[in-house]
Structure 1
Amino acid sequence: MGRVTERRRVIRIRDGAVSTRPDTLVAEEPLEIRLGGKPLAITMRTPGDDFALAAGFLVSEGVLASAPELANIVYCAGATGEGGSNSYNVVDVRLADGVPVPDITLERNVYTTSSCGLCGKASLDAVRTTARWPLDTSPDTPVRIEPATLSALPDRLRAAQRVFERTGGLHAAALFTADGELLDIREDVGRHNAVDKIVGRALQQGQLPLSSCVLMVSGRASFELVQKAVMAGIPVLAAVSAPSSLAVDLAVETGLTLVGFLRGTSMNVYAGEHRLALSAAASTD
Protein backbone atom coordinates (compact mmCIF):
# COMPACT_ATOMS: atom_id res chain seq x y z
CA MET A 1 0.00 0.00 0.00
CA GLY A 2 3.03 2.29 -0.05
CA ARG A 3 2.46 3.60 3.47
CA VAL A 4 5.69 2.39 5.07
CA THR A 5 7.28 5.85 4.90
CA GLU A 6 6.07 9.46 4.70
CA ARG A 7 7.76 12.75 3.87
CA ARG A 8 7.78 15.74 6.23
CA ARG A 9 9.39 19.17 6.12
CA VAL A 10 12.09 19.71 8.74
CA ILE A 11 14.38 22.55 9.74
CA ARG A 12 17.95 21.29 9.67
CA ILE A 13 20.68 22.90 11.74
CA ARG A 14 24.27 21.88 11.04
CA ASP A 15 27.20 23.79 12.54
CA GLY A 16 25.02 26.88 12.94
CA ALA A 17 23.72 26.81 9.36
CA VAL A 18 19.92 26.62 9.09
CA SER A 19 18.08 25.12 6.12
CA THR A 20 14.81 23.44 5.31
CA ARG A 21 14.50 20.07 3.64
CA PRO A 22 12.14 17.10 3.31
CA ASP A 23 12.81 14.17 5.60
CA THR A 24 11.69 10.56 5.25
CA LEU A 25 9.90 9.22 8.32
CA VAL A 26 8.66 5.75 9.12
CA ALA A 27 4.86 5.55 9.10
CA GLU A 28 3.02 4.63 12.29
CA GLU A 29 -0.70 3.83 12.36
CA PRO A 30 -3.01 1.85 14.64
CA LEU A 31 -4.07 -1.66 13.68
CA GLU A 32 -7.15 -3.15 15.30
CA ILE A 33 -7.13 -6.94 15.37
CA ARG A 34 -10.52 -8.64 15.57
CA LEU A 35 -11.17 -12.33 16.12
CA GLY A 36 -14.39 -13.66 14.68
CA GLY A 37 -15.70 -10.11 14.37
CA LYS A 38 -14.97 -9.18 18.00
CA PRO A 39 -12.32 -6.59 18.90
CA LEU A 40 -9.25 -8.23 20.41
CA ALA A 41 -6.33 -5.80 20.44
CA ILE A 42 -4.99 -2.56 19.02
CA THR A 43 -1.32 -2.09 18.27
CA MET A 44 0.62 0.80 16.80
CA ARG A 45 2.53 -0.52 13.80
CA THR A 46 4.17 0.29 10.50
CA PRO A 47 1.65 -0.65 7.77
CA GLY A 48 2.56 -3.73 5.80
CA ASP A 49 2.40 -7.48 6.51
CA ASP A 50 -0.72 -6.78 8.56
CA PHE A 51 -2.16 -10.27 8.09
CA ALA A 52 1.11 -11.84 9.19
CA LEU A 53 1.22 -9.50 12.19
CA ALA A 54 -2.29 -10.56 13.25
CA ALA A 55 -1.50 -14.24 12.77
CA GLY A 56 1.76 -13.94 14.71
CA PHE A 57 0.01 -12.12 17.53
CA LEU A 58 -2.48 -14.98 17.81
CA VAL A 59 0.37 -17.49 17.91
CA SER A 60 1.87 -15.63 20.87
CA GLU A 61 -1.56 -15.62 22.54
CA GLY A 62 -1.86 -19.39 22.16
CA VAL A 63 -4.85 -19.16 19.81
CA LEU A 64 -3.12 -20.42 16.64
CA ALA A 65 -0.39 -22.98 16.13
CA SER A 66 -0.67 -24.17 12.52
CA ALA A 67 -1.87 -22.96 9.14
CA PRO A 68 -4.92 -25.30 8.99
CA GLU A 69 -6.31 -23.64 12.13
CA LEU A 70 -6.56 -20.32 10.26
CA ALA A 71 -9.51 -19.90 7.89
CA ASN A 72 -8.72 -16.42 6.61
CA ILE A 73 -7.83 -12.85 7.48
CA VAL A 74 -9.53 -9.88 5.82
CA TYR A 75 -9.46 -6.12 6.06
CA CYS A 76 -12.66 -4.65 7.44
CA ALA A 77 -14.26 -1.79 5.62
CA GLY A 78 -14.88 1.13 7.74
CA ALA A 79 -12.25 3.32 7.86
CA THR A 80 -12.17 6.95 7.41
CA GLY A 81 -15.79 7.78 8.07
CA GLU A 82 -19.11 7.29 6.34
CA GLY A 83 -18.54 7.05 2.62
CA GLY A 84 -14.77 7.32 3.02
CA SER A 85 -12.15 4.98 1.64
CA ASN A 86 -10.91 1.99 3.58
CA SER A 87 -8.11 2.90 5.99
CA TYR A 88 -6.80 -0.68 6.05
CA ASN A 89 -6.32 -0.33 9.79
CA VAL A 90 -8.74 -3.06 10.92
CA VAL A 91 -8.29 -6.79 10.26
CA ASP A 92 -10.61 -9.64 11.17
CA VAL A 93 -9.24 -13.14 11.76
CA ARG A 94 -11.49 -16.14 11.20
CA LEU A 95 -10.52 -19.51 12.65
CA ALA A 96 -11.13 -22.78 10.84
CA ASP A 97 -14.19 -24.84 11.71
CA GLY A 98 -13.67 -26.74 14.92
CA VAL A 99 -10.93 -24.47 16.28
CA PRO A 100 -12.13 -23.09 19.62
CA VAL A 101 -12.56 -19.34 19.81
CA PRO A 102 -11.42 -18.02 23.19
CA ASP A 103 -13.76 -15.89 25.22
CA ILE A 104 -12.77 -12.33 24.42
CA THR A 105 -13.40 -10.22 27.48
CA LEU A 106 -11.42 -7.75 29.53
CA GLU A 107 -10.49 -10.66 31.76
CA ARG A 108 -8.95 -12.72 28.96
CA ASN A 109 -5.50 -14.15 29.52
CA VAL A 110 -3.39 -11.27 28.23
CA TYR A 111 0.14 -11.41 29.54
CA THR A 112 1.96 -9.68 26.71
CA THR A 113 2.40 -6.22 28.21
CA SER A 114 3.85 -4.82 31.39
CA SER A 115 0.52 -3.14 32.18
CA CYS A 116 -1.45 -6.38 32.33
CA GLY A 117 -1.48 -6.39 36.12
CA LEU A 118 -0.30 -9.99 36.44
CA CYS A 119 2.56 -10.86 38.73
CA GLY A 120 5.74 -12.39 37.34
CA LYS A 121 4.86 -15.91 38.44
CA ALA A 122 1.44 -15.72 36.78
CA SER A 123 3.06 -14.53 33.55
CA LEU A 124 5.60 -17.36 33.59
CA ASP A 125 2.93 -19.94 34.35
CA ALA A 126 0.72 -18.64 31.54
CA VAL A 127 3.42 -19.13 28.90
CA ARG A 128 4.52 -22.51 30.25
CA THR A 129 1.00 -23.92 30.22
CA THR A 130 0.00 -22.59 26.78
CA ALA A 131 3.18 -23.24 24.76
CA ARG A 132 2.44 -25.89 22.10
CA TRP A 133 6.07 -26.90 21.52
CA PRO A 134 8.23 -27.33 24.64
CA LEU A 135 11.84 -26.41 23.87
CA ASP A 136 14.46 -29.16 23.98
CA THR A 137 16.55 -28.63 27.13
CA SER A 138 18.78 -31.68 26.67
CA PRO A 139 22.55 -31.11 26.51
CA ASP A 140 22.40 -33.16 23.29
CA THR A 141 19.95 -30.75 21.68
CA PRO A 142 20.19 -30.77 17.84
CA VAL A 143 20.48 -26.98 17.65
CA ARG A 144 24.09 -25.93 18.24
CA ILE A 145 25.46 -22.54 17.31
CA GLU A 146 28.96 -21.15 17.31
CA PRO A 147 29.56 -17.84 19.15
CA ALA A 148 31.29 -16.59 16.00
CA THR A 149 28.09 -17.22 14.03
CA LEU A 150 26.09 -15.21 16.57
CA SER A 151 28.63 -12.38 16.38
CA ALA A 152 27.95 -11.97 12.66
CA LEU A 153 24.17 -11.68 13.00
CA PRO A 154 23.82 -7.99 14.03
CA ASP A 155 25.68 -6.81 10.92
CA ARG A 156 23.63 -9.13 8.71
CA LEU A 157 20.45 -7.84 10.32
CA ARG A 158 21.43 -4.21 9.79
CA ALA A 159 22.51 -4.81 6.19
CA ALA A 160 19.07 -6.24 5.39
CA GLN A 161 17.11 -3.33 6.94
CA ARG A 162 16.04 -1.48 3.81
CA VAL A 163 13.59 0.95 5.40
CA PHE A 164 15.89 1.70 8.34
CA GLU A 165 18.49 2.97 5.91
CA ARG A 166 16.01 5.61 4.72
CA THR A 167 14.45 6.55 8.07
CA GLY A 168 16.64 5.46 10.98
CA GLY A 169 13.41 4.84 12.89
CA LEU A 170 12.62 1.15 12.69
CA HIS A 171 13.23 -1.95 14.74
CA ALA A 172 13.85 -5.26 13.03
CA ALA A 173 13.53 -8.97 13.69
CA ALA A 174 15.26 -11.58 11.58
CA LEU A 175 15.16 -15.34 11.41
CA PHE A 176 18.45 -17.18 10.79
CA THR A 177 19.55 -20.78 10.56
CA ALA A 178 22.04 -22.06 13.14
CA ASP A 179 24.68 -21.56 10.43
CA GLY A 180 23.83 -17.87 10.11
CA GLU A 181 21.82 -17.98 6.89
CA LEU A 182 19.15 -15.26 6.72
CA LEU A 183 15.69 -16.76 6.25
CA ASP A 184 13.40 -13.74 6.75
CA ILE A 185 13.47 -10.19 8.09
CA ARG A 186 10.67 -7.78 9.00
CA GLU A 187 10.80 -4.15 10.12
CA ASP A 188 8.35 -2.18 12.24
CA VAL A 189 8.20 0.74 14.68
CA GLY A 190 7.60 -1.87 17.38
CA ARG A 191 10.06 -4.75 17.78
CA HIS A 192 7.20 -6.93 19.06
CA ASN A 193 5.31 -6.26 15.82
CA ALA A 194 8.37 -7.19 13.77
CA VAL A 195 8.54 -10.53 15.61
CA ASP A 196 4.80 -11.10 15.11
CA LYS A 197 5.25 -10.51 11.37
CA ILE A 198 8.08 -13.07 11.28
CA VAL A 199 6.08 -15.66 13.22
CA GLY A 200 2.85 -14.96 11.33
CA ARG A 201 4.53 -15.47 7.96
CA ALA A 202 5.95 -18.75 9.21
CA LEU A 203 2.50 -19.88 10.33
CA GLN A 204 0.95 -18.94 6.98
CA GLN A 205 3.63 -20.97 5.21
CA GLY A 206 3.18 -24.00 7.47
CA GLN A 207 6.64 -23.69 9.02
CA LEU A 208 5.82 -23.72 12.74
CA PRO A 209 7.45 -24.70 15.01
CA LEU A 210 10.65 -22.86 14.12
CA SER A 211 12.65 -25.37 16.13
CA SER A 212 15.93 -25.06 14.22
CA CYS A 213 16.06 -21.27 13.95
CA VAL A 214 17.66 -18.30 15.68
CA LEU A 215 15.67 -15.09 16.20
CA MET A 216 17.71 -11.88 16.15
CA VAL A 217 16.15 -8.60 17.29
CA SER A 218 17.28 -5.01 17.38
CA GLY A 219 17.13 -3.33 20.76
CA ARG A 220 16.50 -5.10 24.04
CA ALA A 221 15.02 -8.49 24.86
CA SER A 222 11.80 -8.00 26.83
CA PHE A 223 9.61 -10.63 28.47
CA GLU A 224 7.21 -10.17 25.57
CA LEU A 225 9.82 -11.07 22.94
CA VAL A 226 10.96 -14.14 24.87
CA GLN A 227 7.31 -15.19 25.14
CA LYS A 228 6.81 -14.83 21.39
CA ALA A 229 9.92 -16.88 20.64
CA VAL A 230 8.84 -19.66 23.00
CA MET A 231 5.31 -19.76 21.62
CA ALA A 232 6.71 -20.14 18.08
CA GLY A 233 9.06 -22.93 19.15
CA ILE A 234 12.19 -20.82 18.49
CA PRO A 235 15.07 -22.14 20.64
CA VAL A 236 17.49 -19.18 20.43
CA LEU A 237 16.82 -15.45 20.88
CA ALA A 238 19.63 -12.92 20.47
CA ALA A 239 19.42 -9.17 21.04
CA VAL A 240 21.85 -6.29 20.64
CA SER A 241 20.85 -4.82 24.00
CA ALA A 242 19.89 -5.98 27.49
CA PRO A 243 17.16 -8.38 28.58
CA SER A 244 14.79 -7.67 31.44
CA SER A 245 14.84 -9.77 34.61
CA LEU A 246 11.50 -11.37 33.78
CA ALA A 247 12.73 -12.17 30.27
CA VAL A 248 15.64 -14.08 31.79
CA ASP A 249 13.31 -15.85 34.23
CA LEU A 250 11.09 -16.99 31.36
CA ALA A 251 14.08 -18.12 29.27
CA VAL A 252 15.38 -20.21 32.18
CA GLU A 253 11.91 -21.59 32.89
CA THR A 254 11.29 -22.68 29.29
CA GLY A 255 14.81 -23.67 28.23
CA LEU A 256 15.27 -20.84 25.71
CA THR A 257 18.80 -19.76 24.84
CA LEU A 258 18.87 -16.02 25.54
CA VAL A 259 21.79 -13.87 24.40
CA GLY A 260 22.03 -10.13 25.08
CA PHE A 261 24.48 -7.29 24.44
CA LEU A 262 25.46 -9.00 21.17
CA ARG A 263 27.95 -6.50 19.81
CA GLY A 264 30.98 -7.46 17.79
CA THR A 265 32.64 -10.46 19.39
CA SER A 266 31.12 -9.72 22.81
CA MET A 267 27.87 -11.12 24.20
CA ASN A 268 26.21 -12.17 27.44
CA VAL A 269 24.51 -15.57 27.61
CA TYR A 270 21.72 -15.40 30.19
CA ALA A 271 20.13 -18.83 29.71
CA GLY A 272 20.32 -21.96 27.58
CA GLU A 273 24.09 -22.05 27.19
CA HIS A 274 23.85 -25.75 26.24
CA ARG A 275 23.06 -24.70 22.66
CA LEU A 276 26.29 -22.71 22.28
CA ALA A 277 29.52 -24.41 21.26
CA LEU A 278 31.52 -22.98 24.15
CA SER A 279 35.04 -23.87 25.10
CA ALA A 280 35.30 -26.45 27.88
CA ALA A 281 37.70 -24.07 29.60
CA ALA A 282 35.14 -21.27 29.78
CA SER A 283 35.23 -19.49 33.15
CA THR A 284 32.21 -19.69 35.44
CA ASP A 285 33.31 -16.91 37.79
Structure 2
Amino acid sequence: MSRVAVKRRILRVKDAVPTRRIDSLAAEEPLEIRLDGTPLTVTMRTPGDDFDLAAGFLVSEGAVGSAADIETIRYCAGATVDGGNTYNVLDVRLAPGVPAPAPRNFYTTSSCGVCGKASLEAVRTVARWSAADDPVELAQSTVATLPDRLRAAQRVFDRTGGLHAAGLFTADGEPLCVREDVGRHNAVDKLLGWALRGGRLPLRGAVLMVSGRASFELVQKAVMGGIPVLAAVSAPSSLAVELAAEQGLTLIGFLRGTSMNVYTGERRLNVTPGAGNGSAGAPPPR
Protein backbone atom coordinates (compact mmCIF):
# COMPACT_ATOMS: atom_id res chain seq x y z
CA MET A 1 0.00 0.00 0.00
CA SER A 2 1.06 3.60 -0.53
CA ARG A 3 2.45 5.54 2.41
CA VAL A 4 0.86 8.59 4.03
CA ALA A 5 4.29 10.07 4.80
CA VAL A 6 7.62 9.95 2.98
CA LYS A 7 11.10 10.39 4.46
CA ARG A 8 13.57 12.75 2.76
CA ARG A 9 17.05 13.96 3.70
CA ILE A 10 17.17 17.76 3.89
CA LEU A 11 19.45 20.63 4.82
CA ARG A 12 18.10 22.58 7.79
CA VAL A 13 19.46 26.01 8.58
CA LYS A 14 18.74 27.59 11.97
CA ASP A 15 20.52 30.65 13.30
CA ALA A 16 22.96 30.38 10.37
CA VAL A 17 23.94 26.85 11.45
CA PRO A 18 23.39 24.18 8.72
CA THR A 19 22.59 20.61 9.71
CA ARG A 20 21.59 17.49 7.83
CA ARG A 21 18.46 15.71 8.95
CA ILE A 22 15.64 13.42 7.89
CA ASP A 23 12.28 15.10 7.38
CA SER A 24 8.80 13.60 7.00
CA LEU A 25 6.72 14.85 4.09
CA ALA A 26 3.00 14.38 3.60
CA ALA A 27 2.56 11.96 0.71
CA GLU A 28 0.73 13.18 -2.39
CA GLU A 29 -0.16 10.73 -5.15
CA PRO A 30 -2.77 10.65 -7.92
CA LEU A 31 -5.89 8.54 -7.50
CA GLU A 32 -7.86 7.67 -10.62
CA ILE A 33 -11.49 6.91 -9.88
CA ARG A 34 -13.28 4.81 -12.45
CA LEU A 35 -17.01 4.26 -12.59
CA ASP A 36 -18.08 0.89 -13.96
CA GLY A 37 -14.71 0.65 -15.68
CA THR A 38 -14.80 4.11 -17.26
CA PRO A 39 -12.36 6.78 -16.00
CA LEU A 40 -14.28 9.46 -14.12
CA THR A 41 -11.74 11.71 -12.41
CA VAL A 42 -8.19 11.97 -11.14
CA THR A 43 -7.52 13.63 -7.80
CA MET A 44 -4.27 14.33 -6.02
CA ARG A 45 -4.61 12.96 -2.52
CA THR A 46 -2.83 11.54 0.50
CA PRO A 47 -3.11 7.73 0.29
CA GLY A 48 -5.40 6.17 2.86
CA ASP A 49 -9.18 5.75 3.20
CA ASP A 50 -9.35 5.62 -0.60
CA PHE A 51 -12.64 3.71 -0.67
CA ASP A 52 -14.22 6.39 1.51
CA LEU A 53 -12.74 9.07 -0.76
CA ALA A 54 -14.26 7.51 -3.88
CA ALA A 55 -17.64 6.97 -2.24
CA GLY A 56 -17.66 10.48 -0.82
CA PHE A 57 -16.77 11.96 -4.17
CA LEU A 58 -19.84 10.27 -5.65
CA VAL A 59 -21.96 11.65 -2.81
CA SER A 60 -20.63 15.14 -3.56
CA GLU A 61 -21.49 14.70 -7.24
CA GLY A 62 -25.02 13.59 -6.39
CA ALA A 63 -24.49 10.16 -7.95
CA VAL A 64 -25.23 8.09 -4.84
CA GLY A 65 -27.11 8.58 -1.59
CA SER A 66 -26.84 5.29 0.26
CA ALA A 67 -24.49 2.36 0.64
CA ALA A 68 -26.93 0.23 -1.37
CA ASP A 69 -26.22 2.39 -4.45
CA ILE A 70 -22.69 0.97 -4.64
CA GLU A 71 -22.13 -2.67 -5.48
CA THR A 72 -18.34 -2.83 -5.11
CA ILE A 73 -15.24 -0.68 -4.77
CA ARG A 74 -11.90 -2.27 -5.60
CA TYR A 75 -8.36 -1.41 -6.56
CA CYS A 76 -7.50 -2.16 -10.17
CA ALA A 77 -4.71 -4.69 -10.67
CA GLY A 78 -2.15 -4.33 -13.43
CA ALA A 79 -1.67 -0.61 -12.84
CA THR A 80 2.08 -0.84 -13.38
CA VAL A 81 4.18 -1.98 -16.33
CA ASP A 82 5.02 -5.26 -14.62
CA GLY A 83 1.38 -5.93 -13.76
CA GLY A 84 1.69 -4.88 -10.14
CA ASN A 85 -0.68 -2.63 -8.23
CA THR A 86 0.12 0.98 -7.37
CA TYR A 87 -3.09 1.28 -5.34
CA ASN A 88 -3.69 4.48 -7.25
CA VAL A 89 -6.58 3.30 -9.44
CA LEU A 90 -10.03 2.47 -8.08
CA ASP A 91 -13.08 1.11 -9.85
CA VAL A 92 -16.53 1.74 -8.39
CA ARG A 93 -19.37 -0.45 -9.58
CA LEU A 94 -22.84 0.99 -9.12
CA ALA A 95 -25.65 -1.30 -8.07
CA PRO A 96 -28.05 -2.48 -10.79
CA GLY A 97 -30.59 0.22 -11.63
CA VAL A 98 -28.53 3.12 -10.26
CA PRO A 99 -28.01 5.61 -13.11
CA ALA A 100 -24.48 6.77 -13.79
CA PRO A 101 -23.81 10.52 -13.61
CA ALA A 102 -23.42 12.44 -16.83
CA PRO A 103 -19.97 11.82 -18.35
CA ARG A 104 -17.55 14.48 -17.22
CA ASN A 105 -13.83 13.94 -16.88
CA PHE A 106 -11.92 16.56 -14.98
CA TYR A 107 -8.71 16.89 -13.05
CA THR A 108 -8.88 17.74 -9.36
CA THR A 109 -5.87 19.27 -7.64
CA SER A 110 -5.14 18.79 -3.96
CA SER A 111 -5.60 22.50 -3.35
CA CYS A 112 -8.61 23.45 -5.45
CA GLY A 113 -11.02 20.63 -6.14
CA VAL A 114 -13.38 22.36 -8.56
CA CYS A 115 -10.75 23.12 -11.20
CA GLY A 116 -11.84 21.88 -14.60
CA LYS A 117 -15.59 21.83 -13.99
CA ALA A 118 -17.46 23.35 -16.87
CA SER A 119 -19.19 26.10 -14.93
CA LEU A 120 -20.24 27.30 -11.52
CA GLU A 121 -23.75 26.03 -12.14
CA ALA A 122 -22.37 22.50 -12.58
CA VAL A 123 -21.26 22.60 -8.95
CA ARG A 124 -24.69 23.56 -7.66
CA THR A 125 -25.80 19.97 -7.48
CA VAL A 126 -29.32 19.28 -6.29
CA ALA A 127 -29.07 17.91 -2.76
CA ARG A 128 -31.00 14.84 -1.63
CA TRP A 129 -31.58 16.30 1.84
CA SER A 130 -32.31 19.75 3.21
CA ALA A 131 -29.99 21.30 5.77
CA ALA A 132 -32.43 24.15 6.33
CA ASP A 133 -34.94 22.08 8.31
CA ASP A 134 -32.36 20.59 10.70
CA PRO A 135 -33.27 21.95 14.18
CA VAL A 136 -29.89 21.23 15.81
CA GLU A 137 -28.67 23.82 18.33
CA LEU A 138 -25.07 24.35 19.42
CA ALA A 139 -23.59 25.96 22.48
CA GLN A 140 -21.00 28.60 21.62
CA SER A 141 -18.74 27.10 24.28
CA THR A 142 -18.89 23.71 22.56
CA VAL A 143 -18.12 25.13 19.13
CA ALA A 144 -15.07 26.88 20.59
CA THR A 145 -13.55 23.51 21.53
CA LEU A 146 -13.73 22.00 18.03
CA PRO A 147 -10.44 23.31 16.55
CA ASP A 148 -8.43 21.83 19.43
CA ARG A 149 -10.33 18.57 19.23
CA LEU A 150 -9.70 18.37 15.50
CA ARG A 151 -6.03 19.17 15.92
CA ALA A 152 -5.64 16.51 18.63
CA ALA A 153 -6.86 13.86 16.18
CA GLN A 154 -4.39 14.78 13.39
CA ARG A 155 -1.92 11.93 13.67
CA VAL A 156 -0.13 12.40 10.34
CA PHE A 157 0.06 16.18 10.75
CA ASP A 158 2.16 15.65 13.86
CA ARG A 159 4.75 13.89 11.71
CA THR A 160 4.64 16.07 8.60
CA GLY A 161 2.98 19.40 9.35
CA GLY A 162 1.60 19.26 5.82
CA LEU A 163 -1.97 17.97 5.93
CA HIS A 164 -5.42 19.45 6.21
CA ALA A 165 -8.04 17.87 8.41
CA ALA A 166 -11.82 17.57 8.43
CA GLY A 167 -13.84 16.18 11.29
CA LEU A 168 -17.44 15.30 12.01
CA PHE A 169 -18.68 16.09 15.50
CA THR A 170 -21.93 15.76 17.40
CA ALA A 171 -23.74 18.83 18.66
CA ASP A 172 -22.13 18.10 22.03
CA GLY A 173 -18.65 18.24 20.50
CA GLU A 174 -17.95 14.52 20.49
CA PRO A 175 -15.88 13.35 17.50
CA LEU A 176 -17.54 10.96 15.06
CA CYS A 177 -14.80 10.71 12.44
CA VAL A 178 -11.67 12.63 11.47
CA ARG A 179 -9.78 12.39 8.18
CA GLU A 180 -6.56 14.01 6.89
CA ASP A 181 -5.41 14.78 3.36
CA VAL A 182 -3.27 17.21 1.38
CA GLY A 183 -6.56 18.59 0.06
CA ARG A 184 -9.38 19.82 2.29
CA HIS A 185 -11.96 18.69 -0.25
CA ASN A 186 -10.50 15.16 -0.21
CA ALA A 187 -10.62 15.04 3.58
CA VAL A 188 -14.31 16.00 3.48
CA ASP A 189 -15.04 13.43 0.76
CA LYS A 190 -13.41 10.78 2.96
CA LEU A 191 -15.81 11.75 5.74
CA LEU A 192 -18.82 11.60 3.42
CA GLY A 193 -17.69 8.21 2.14
CA TRP A 194 -17.28 6.94 5.69
CA ALA A 195 -20.82 8.09 6.46
CA LEU A 196 -22.25 6.63 3.24
CA ARG A 197 -20.66 3.22 3.68
CA GLY A 198 -21.79 3.11 7.30
CA GLY A 199 -25.40 4.01 6.52
CA ARG A 200 -25.15 7.35 8.35
CA LEU A 201 -26.42 9.71 5.64
CA PRO A 202 -27.91 12.24 5.99
CA LEU A 203 -25.67 13.58 8.76
CA ARG A 204 -28.41 15.42 10.61
CA GLY A 205 -27.33 17.15 13.78
CA ALA A 206 -23.65 16.93 12.85
CA VAL A 207 -21.00 19.64 12.68
CA LEU A 208 -18.30 19.63 10.00
CA MET A 209 -15.06 21.23 11.24
CA VAL A 210 -12.30 21.95 8.72
CA SER A 211 -8.79 23.31 8.94
CA GLY A 212 -8.08 26.38 6.84
CA ARG A 213 -10.69 28.29 4.89
CA ALA A 214 -14.29 27.47 3.97
CA SER A 215 -14.64 27.38 0.18
CA PHE A 216 -17.74 27.16 -1.98
CA GLU A 217 -17.01 23.50 -2.63
CA LEU A 218 -16.79 22.60 1.05
CA VAL A 219 -20.19 24.20 1.67
CA GLN A 220 -21.56 22.25 -1.30
CA LYS A 221 -20.19 19.00 0.09
CA ALA A 222 -21.70 19.71 3.50
CA VAL A 223 -25.08 20.34 1.89
CA MET A 224 -24.82 17.13 -0.16
CA GLY A 225 -24.19 15.16 3.03
CA GLY A 226 -27.12 16.72 4.88
CA ILE A 227 -24.78 18.46 7.34
CA PRO A 228 -26.37 21.55 8.95
CA VAL A 229 -23.24 23.26 10.34
CA LEU A 230 -19.82 23.98 8.84
CA ALA A 231 -17.07 25.61 10.90
CA ALA A 232 -13.61 26.66 9.72
CA VAL A 233 -10.58 28.17 11.42
CA SER A 234 -10.13 30.69 8.61
CA ALA A 235 -12.24 32.82 6.26
CA PRO A 236 -15.08 31.73 4.00
CA SER A 237 -15.34 32.93 0.42
CA SER A 238 -18.19 35.13 -0.79
CA LEU A 239 -19.65 32.24 -2.80
CA ALA A 240 -19.43 29.95 0.21
CA VAL A 241 -21.50 32.40 2.26
CA GLU A 242 -23.96 32.85 -0.60
CA LEU A 243 -24.52 29.11 -0.99
CA ALA A 244 -24.76 28.55 2.78
CA ALA A 245 -27.47 31.21 3.00
CA GLU A 246 -29.36 29.69 0.06
CA GLN A 247 -29.28 26.20 1.57
CA GLY A 248 -29.98 27.08 5.20
CA LEU A 249 -26.53 26.02 6.42
CA THR A 250 -24.92 27.53 9.50
CA LEU A 251 -21.47 28.78 8.42
CA ILE A 252 -18.87 29.77 11.01
CA GLY A 253 -15.45 31.18 10.13
CA PHE A 254 -12.38 32.48 11.96
CA LEU A 255 -13.09 29.98 14.73
CA ARG A 256 -10.15 30.56 17.06
CA GLY A 257 -10.43 30.16 20.81
CA THR A 258 -13.65 31.74 22.01
CA SER A 259 -13.88 34.04 18.97
CA MET A 260 -15.81 33.23 15.82
CA ASN A 261 -17.73 34.91 13.01
CA VAL A 262 -21.17 33.49 12.23
CA TYR A 263 -21.95 34.30 8.60
CA THR A 264 -25.22 32.40 8.14
CA GLY A 265 -27.66 30.37 10.21
CA GLU A 266 -26.98 32.10 13.52
CA ARG A 267 -30.26 30.74 14.89
CA ARG A 268 -28.49 27.47 15.64
CA LEU A 269 -25.85 29.03 17.89
CA ASN A 270 -26.62 29.48 21.57
CA VAL A 271 -24.30 32.26 22.78
CA THR A 272 -23.67 32.39 26.52
CA PRO A 273 -23.29 35.99 27.77
CA GLY A 274 -19.95 36.65 29.41
CA ALA A 275 -18.26 33.67 27.78
CA GLY A 276 -15.81 35.90 25.92
CA ASN A 277 -17.19 34.98 22.54
CA GLY A 278 -16.78 37.00 19.36
CA SER A 279 -20.06 38.35 18.05
CA ALA A 280 -21.34 37.55 14.61
CA GLY A 281 -20.08 40.07 12.15
CA ALA A 282 -17.27 41.27 14.42
CA PRO A 283 -13.85 41.89 12.89
CA PRO A 284 -12.14 38.50 12.55
CA PRO A 285 -9.20 37.73 14.83
CA ARG A 286 -5.88 37.99 13.05
TM-score of the superposition, structure 1-length normalised? 0.90
Q: 5 Å matches for 1:85-124?
A: 85-105=84-104, 113-119=114-120, 122=121
Partner AA of 2:226 in structure 1: G
Percent pairwise identity: 64
Equivalence for 2:78: 78
CA distance in 1, matches of 2:72, 2:248: 33
Partner AA of 1:143 in structure 2: V
Contact 1:38 1:104 in 2 (8 A): no
| Cα shift readout 1:248-276 (whole Å, capped 9, x = no counterpart) | 11000000000000001111111111111
Q: 5 Å matches for 1:222-237?
A: 222-237=215-230
CA distance in 2, matches of 1:199, 1:224: 13
Equivalence for 1:205: 198
Partner AA of 2:10 in structure 1: V
What is the aligned length? 273
Asked if residue 57 in structure 1 is aligned to residue 50 in structure 2, the reply is: no
Q: Structure 1 residues 106 and 25 mapped into 2: Cα distance closer, same or farther (>3 Å)?
A: closer
Equivalence for 1:218: 211
Secondary structure of 2:212 counterpart: coil
Partner AA of 1:136 in structure 2: A
Asked if residue 144 in structure 1 is aligned to residue 137 in structure 2, the reply is: yes
Q: CA deviation at 1:50?
A: 0.4
Partner AA of 1:132 in structure 2: R
Contact 2:145 2:257 in 1 (8 A): yes
CA distance in 1, matches of 2:174, 2:29: 32
Secondary structure of 1:80 counterpart: coil
Asked if residue 248 in structure 1 is aligned to residue 231 in structure 2, the reply is: no
Equivalence for 1:29: 29
Equivalence for 1:189: 182
Equivalence for 2:109: none
Contact 2:253 2:260 in 1 (8 A): yes
Partner AA of 1:101 in structure 2: A
CA distance in 2, matches of 1:118, 1:63: 18
| Cα shift readout 1:220-256 (whole Å, capped 9, x = no counterpart) | 0001100000000000000000011111110000000
Secondary structure of 2:144 counterpart: helix
Secondary structure of 2:190 counterpart: helix
Contact 2:80 2:86 in 1 (8 A): yes
CA distance in 1, matches of 2:231, 2:141: 13
| Cα shift readout 1:189-215 (whole Å, capped 9, x = no counterpart) | 001000000110110000000011000
CA distance in 1, matches of 2:5, 2:187: 16
Equivalence for 1:179: 172
Q: Structure 1 residues 275 and 8 mapped into 2: Cα distance closer, same or farther (>3 Å)?
A: same
Q: CA deviation at 1:16?
A: 1.1
CA distance in 2, matches of 1:283, 1:97: 48
Q: 5 Å matches for 1:147-158?
A: 147-158=140-151
Contact 1:259 1:270 in 2 (8 A): yes
Equivalence for 1:39: 39
Partner AA of 2:223 in structure 1: V
Q: Structure 1 residues 84 and 114 mapped into 2: Cα distance closer, same or farther (>3 Å)?
A: closer
Partner AA of 2:17 in structure 1: A
Contact 2:166 2:179 in 1 (8 A): yes
CA distance in 1, matches of 2:39, 2:239: 29
Partner AA of 1:37 in structure 2: G
Secondary structure of 1:77 counterpart: coil
CA distance in 1, matches of 2:102, 2:185: 24
Asked if residue 134 in structure 1 is aligned to residue 130 in structure 2, the reply is: yes
CA distance in 2, matches of 1:253, 1:56: 23
The runs of 5 or more residues in structure 1 that have no matched partner are: none
